Amino acid sequence: MKRFSLVIIAVLLLAGCSQNKDEGEAREVVRKYTALLAEGYRNLNMNPLVQVATEERATKAYHHMAALGEARTKMDAQIREIKFLNVKFVQGDKAEVKTEEKWDYTYINMDSGKSEFDNSVAYALTYFLTKKSGKWLVADITIEKAKEQKSSENIFNRPKDKQLPEQKGNDQNRK
């Protein structure tokens, strides 16, 4: 009976250690993802993101970066704070990580190198992770809540000196 009790205790301890290990790995993947995402926007290169994200997730980030690039704008993103609220394992190879994050964004004109817009955003996010070949990867992200400190409504409006003829004179309508 004693031997059986010791075996049960050992199994429970190992299971707990395994879950703590997975939880730590899941948190670390999210930390690395945010760092590589910010670096990818800054350097206009999302390729390193595949180290911690599925190909589909990395492709979504690439498309957003490329869309900004088409507007001759790049984003310099800085994560100021990340707070882990919950890590939940849905199945053996799926996890959900809830965070609260604070980011600062500077949008830079790629032609002039000048800052066009600064913004700070506080997010509540859910990261959906999947385990492939023994490694946790970010598969998707849901923005549960976002609160901006500055409005971004004018970031993609053309400057007055580059407006199309039909836009000139309509500035009063936008204010």
Exposed / middle / buried, residue 170 (Cβ in 10 Å: 0-12, 13-18, 19+): exposed
Between CA 74 and CA 142 the distance in angstroms is: 23
**First and final CA of the chain: distance in angstroms?**
79
Q: How crowded is residue 148: how many other Cβ atoms within 10 Å of its Cβ? A: 11
Output the pTM of the full model.
Answer: 0.76
pLDDT for the residue 15: 46
Residue 164 confidence (pLDDT): 59
Instruction: Return the SS3 of 87.
Output: strand
Q: How far apart are CA 7 and CA 119, in angstroms?
A: 56
Contacts of 72 (CB under 8 A, 6+ apart): 109, 110, 111
CB 115 within 8 A of CB 106: yes
For the stretch 41-50, pLDDT in tens is: 999 999 999 9
Among 62, 69, 173, 76, smallest CA distance to 119 is for 76
**Model pLDDT, residue 12:** 45
Render pLDDT for 12-65 as a digit per residue (tens, 0 to 9).
444 444 557 889 999 999 999 999 999 999 999 999 999 999 999 999 999 999
